[in-house]
Amino acid sequence: DGGITQSPKYLFRKEGQNVTLSCEQNLNHDAMYWYRQDPGQGLRLIYYSQIVNDFQKGDIAEGYSVSREKKESFPLTVTSAQKNPTAFYLCASSIALLAGPPRGTQYFGPGTRLLVL
């Protein structure tokens, strides 16, 4: 079964702690993305990556970091510098980093809900 997996489903962060959210895809997609969704809000782009070892900041990158060491994996670290991390985090991928369908169509993983203790 091809798809995008995210883990864990729920994550609890203590004050001053860094936490890492996992995102893996077996769709052979080149482009991967991280979004944040707050209640009643649209999705906001945190980081995106077109190829291995290359990634770019999105609209709200402050307090987050990513890596892309493998094509299949794009983990997101929420650092202690992110003062309001409670949100639903969504990973997405597309065949290529393009604006339009079909190669630019983005598909989402199931998400990770991050809560602050």
Partner 1 sequence: QKEVEQNSGPLSVPEGAIASLNCTYSDRGSQSFFWYRQYSGKSPELIMSIYSNGDKEDGRFTAQLNKASQYVSLLIRDSQPSDSATYLCAVANSGYALNFGKGTSLLVTP
Using CA atoms, how far apart are residues 33 and 3, in angstroms rounded to an integer?
Answer: 14
Q: What's the closest the beta carbon of residue 81 comes to partner 1, in angstroms?
A: 23
Q: What's the closest the beta carbon of residue 101 comes to partner 1, in angstroms?
A: 4
Q: Give the 3-state secondary structure of residue 52.
A: coil
Instruction: Decide whether 7 or 41 has the Cβ nearer to partner 1.
Output: 41
- Both tokens of 17, joined, read 């702690």
First CA to last CA distance, the chain? 35
Residues in binding contact with partner 1, number by CB under 8 A: 26
Binding-site string for partner 1 from residue 76 to residue 115, where x marks contact by CB under 8 A and - marks none = --------------x------xxxxxx-xxxxxxxx----
Q: Per 3-state DSSP, what percentage of the chain is helix, strand, and coil (rounded to 5)?
A: 0, 50, 50
Using CA atoms, how far apart are residues 65 and 76, in angstroms rounded to an integer?
Answer: 6
Q: What's the closest the beta carbon of residue 72 comes to partner 1, in angstroms?
A: 18
Q: Which residues bind partner 1 (CB under 8 A)?
A: 31, 40-45, 48, 50, 58-59, 90, 97-102, 104-111
